[in-house]
């Protein structure tokens, strides 16, 4: 029988985030990335979403490694949850492992973790796989793609990438090695689809620096820059400009402070001497000498930028003359949140520059022409678009067809659907266990659809609790007492609540003599009576919670 290898996506194919791809040969497998996804408004109260690891954990005897492409949360954030169930080596570049170490320390897992450093072009063996990291540029330094040599051929996974010809660190994507792999033969290419709907080429990080230079030269007052704490190159440009214009810098946000410290210690960030100041000391300088480098570029509640906009920050009061630069792409879904912050900053008299009105950011992902170049460099026999919602995957599949890949060699698959490849053939296989596991505090996977639906109902229509005391025959001894949260304000609606009490008593009295009068039956009658009363009067459907006590 001809040997085969399976690629099994557990996350990242069908959504932005949650990235995790298994490569399986026989009984042995590795994972590429292990990321989380941040919840949207349909997941009230949820902290994180992580992949379903059950398939990998069931194969833990042959689970050889997790290999990380870079240090963004959507590629490393679920690692602590995986490592609780499988003691598996984790490979990554120095900055990636430093960021991983922070996450593992928070979860009390750092002491037992097996973290192994890899470097571009330094091939290593893991079980039946030979793995070669390949340098790629992205919006975080130390990013790599992976050439995974398997018993049937080479699988190339790009990770998140762009083809920046002039990155700040002088480490462009290794197009020469990608072309060499293409000449040798790439069996499967898995390529980042995030920016497939953007025509042309993704612009260089250096161009952002040039645009920011002009803004700093014209700024008469304080400059506040909000960006991702992981964007080390963007942070470097701001620090360099601040030093050039004789400004001092304060870092706002725990993640910003941690990442700057880590990147500086590893040599990825050059912090000029005497540049950084604690915020309370910076506030004593004239505004024209101040730069604040902050998190909160997505307008997250309680982030430094949001607190400034709401005039609730302890040390920073935004004033006329301030220049606020939001140097980040607005993640889909955050438009309204960041819009509120921008409006609030304008009301305080600041000048605000952001993606819609100024060139202050470039993406870390390849646009259409760069994606085409990746396809032509590597010339894969088979192609899987990865990292994106279905529309991105579909757009990338069409792009691949446009550069000449045969339709029967392009595989548009999503989480839980695998691709089995031999040296000469490929076919879709599955279904594999895959899905979204919800993390709420210390609960992992305990929150299901029913709980989420109840939370949504509570948020939309509120709660009405009805308590009764009954005797052993089911007759009402005391009550009903009614409490409400998010439905009506009790003190202002006492006549209404009296009517509701009467409706409950009437419903109980109208029950047939032979009808059951245990607590469950009484609770069901109370629930029905309250729902009918409220629906007829208000056309609303709050959660109704009967509390029946027996004496």
54 and 165 in one domain? yes
422, 444, 466 - which closes a domain: 444
Residue that is last in its domain, among 417, 444, 471: 444
Residue 249 near residue 216, CB atoms below 8 Å: no
Q: Is the Cα torsion angle 47, 390, 140, 18 positive or negative in sign?
A: positive
Q: Is residue 25 part of a domain?
A: yes
In the prediction, which pLDDT does 38 show?
Answer: 82
pLDDT > 70 in the chain, percent: 90
Q: How many domains does the chain have?
A: 3
Greater confidence, 534 or 275?
A: 275
Q: Looking at the structure, do residues 294 and 417 belong to the same domain, yes or no?
A: no
CA–CA dist 248, 246 (Å, integer)? 7
Annotated catalytic residue, options 164, 174, 192, 370:
192
Cα separation, 289 vs 363, whole angstroms: 29
| Long-range contacts at 509-518 (CB < 8 A, ≥ 24 apart) | 517/470, 517/473, 517/474, 518/474
Same domain flag for 130 and 228:
no
Q: What is the CATH number of the domain that holds 369?
A: 3.60.15.10
pLDDT digits (tens, 9 = 90+) for 175-219: 999 999 999 999 999 999 999 999 999 999 999 999 999 999 999
Same domain flag for 455 and 437: no
What DSSP state is assigned to residue 204? P
Q: What is the largest CA-CA distance in the chain?
A: 88
Question: What's the residue count for the chain?
Answer: 551
pLDDT, tens digit (0-9, with 9 covering 90-100), for 264-287: 999 999 999 999 999 999 988 999
pLDDT digits (tens, 9 = 90+) for 18-62: 999 999 999 999 999 999 988 766 665 667 788 999 999 999 999
Task: Judge if 270 and 337 occupy the same domain.
Answer: yes
The β-bridge partners of 549 are 469
* Mean pLDDT, the chain, integer: 89
| Residue of 233, 365, 387, 392 marked active site | 365
Instruction: Tell me which DSSP letter residue 330 carries.
Output: P
Cα–Cα distance list, 436 to 17, 73, 80, 114 (Å): 11, 16, 16, 26
Per the model's pLDDT, the better-predicted residue between 509 and 228 turns out to be 228
- Dihedral pair phi/psi, residue 528, rounded to 5°: -65, -45
Q: Answer yes or no: do 129 and 150 share one domain.
A: yes
Answer yes or no: is pLDDT of 498 > 80. Answer: no
Q: In the structure, what pLDDT confidence band is assigned to residue 544 with cuts at 50, 70 and 90?
A: confident
| Residue 91 pLDDT grade (very low, low, confident, very high; cuts 50, 70, 90) | very high
User: Are both 215 and 178 inside the same structural domain?
Assistant: no
Question: Cβ distance 195 to 184 under 8 Å?
Answer: no
Q: Domain containing 489 — which CATH number?
A: 3.10.20.580
Pairing of strands 543-550, 476-485: unpaired
Would you give the end-to-end CA distance of the chain in angstroms?
A: 73
User: Domain boundary residue among 412, 444, 476?
Assistant: 444
Residue 97: inside a domain: yes
192 counts as catalytic: yes
Whole-model pTM: value is 0.84
Evaluate whether residue 251 is within a structural domain: yes
pLDDT, mean of residues 143-158: 97
In which band, very low, low, confident or very high, does the pLDDT at 443 lie, cut at 50, 70 and 90?
low
Residue 12 lies in a domain: yes
Q: What is the mean pLDDT of residues 517-533?
A: 77
Q: Are residues 77 and 186 in the same domain?
A: yes
Same domain (yes/no): 455, 440: no
Summarize pLDDT for 52-71 with one digit per residue, the tens. 999 999 999 999 999 999 99
Do 214 and 137 fall within a single domain? no
Query: Does any domain span residue 358?
Result: no
Q: Is residue 328 part of a domain?
A: yes
> What single DSSP character describes residue 203?
P
Q: How confident is the model at residue 492 (pLDDT cuts 50, 70, 90)?
A: low
Residue 543 has pLDDT above 90, yes or no: no
Residue 383 lies inside a defined structural domain of this protein = yes
Per-residue confidence (pLDDT) for residue 43, from 0 to 100:
66
Residue 517, pLDDT score: 64
- 298-335 pLDDT tens trace: 888 788 899 999 998 888 899 999 999 999 988 766 78
State residue 93's pLDDT score.
Answer: 97
Rounded CA-CA distance 430/155 in Å is: 19
Confirm whether 401 is domain-assigned.
Answer: yes
Q: Do 299 and 420 belong together in one domain? A: no
| Residues 265 and 405 occupy one common structural domain | no
With contact defined as beta carbons under 8 Å apart, do 24 and 8 qualify?
yes
For residue 481, the enclosing domain spans 449-550
């Amino acid at each position: 029988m001809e040997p085969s290898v399976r690629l099994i996506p557990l996350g990242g194919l069908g959504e932005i985030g949650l990235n995790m791809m298994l490569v399986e040969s026989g009984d042995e497998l590795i994972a590429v990335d292990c990321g989380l996804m941040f919840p949207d408004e349909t997941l009230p109260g949820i902290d994180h979403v992580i992949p379903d690891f059950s398939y990998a954990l069931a194969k833990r005897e042959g689970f050889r490694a997790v290999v990380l492409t870079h240090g963004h949360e959507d590629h490393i954030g679920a690692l602590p949850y995986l490592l609780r169930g499988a003691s598996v080596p984790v490979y990554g570049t120095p900055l990636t492992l430093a960021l991983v170490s922070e996450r593992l320390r928070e979860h009390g897992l750092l002491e037992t973790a097996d973290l192994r450093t890899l470097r571009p072009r330094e091939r290593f063996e893991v079980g039946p796989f030979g793995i070669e990291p390949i340098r790629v540029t992205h919006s975080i330094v130390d990013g790599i793609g992976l050439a995974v040599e398997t018993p049937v051929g080479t699988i190339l996974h790009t990770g998140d990438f762009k083809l920046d010809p002039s990155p700040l660190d002088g480490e462009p994507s290794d197009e020469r090695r990608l072309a060499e792999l293409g000449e040798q033969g790439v069996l499967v290419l898995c390529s980042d689809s995030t920016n497939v709907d953007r025509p042309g080429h993704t612009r260089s990080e250096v161009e952002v620096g040039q645009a920011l230079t002009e803004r700093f030269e014209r700024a008469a007052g304080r400059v506040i820059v909000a960006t991702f704490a992981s964007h080390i190159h963007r942070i470097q440009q701001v620090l360099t400009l601040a030093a050039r214009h004789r400004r001092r810098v304060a870092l706002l946000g725990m993640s910003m402070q941690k990442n700057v410290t880590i990147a500086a210690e590893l040599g990825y960030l050059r912090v000029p001497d005497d540049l950084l100041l604690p915020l309370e000391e910076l506030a004593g300088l004239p505004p024209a000498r101040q730069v604040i480098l902050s998190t909160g570029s997505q307008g997250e509640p309680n982030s430094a930028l949001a607190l400034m906009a709401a005039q609730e920050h302890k040390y920073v009061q935004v004033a006329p003359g301030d220049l606020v630069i939001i140097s980040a792409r607005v993640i889909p879904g955050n438009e309204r949140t960041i819009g509120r912050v921008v409006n609030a900053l304008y009301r305080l008299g600041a000048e605000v520059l952001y993606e819609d009105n100024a060139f202050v950011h470039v993406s870390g992902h390849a646009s259409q022409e760069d994606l085409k170049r990746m396809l032509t460099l590597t010339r894969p026999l088979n192609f899987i678009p990865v990292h994106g919602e279905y529309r991105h995957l579909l757009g990338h599949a069409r792009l691949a067809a446009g550069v000449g890949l045969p339709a029967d060699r392009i595989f548009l698959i999503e989480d839980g659907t695998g691709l089995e490849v031999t040296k000469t053939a490929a076919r879709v296989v599955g279904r594999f266990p895959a899905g979204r596991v919800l993390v709420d505090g210390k609960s992992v996977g305990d929150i299901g659809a029913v709980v989420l639906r109840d939370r949504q109902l509570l948020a939309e229509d509120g709660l009405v609790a009805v308590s009764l005391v009954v005797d052993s025959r089911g007759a009402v001894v005391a009550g009903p007492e009614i409490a409400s949260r998010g439905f009506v304000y009790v003190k202002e609606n006492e006549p209404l609540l009296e009517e509701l009490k009467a409706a409950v008593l009437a419903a109980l009295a109208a029950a047939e003599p032979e009808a059951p009068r245990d607590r469950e039956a009484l609770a069901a009658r109370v629930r029905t009576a309250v729902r009918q009363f409220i629906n007829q009067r208000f056309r609303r459907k709050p959660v109704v919670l009967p509390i029946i006590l027996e004496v």
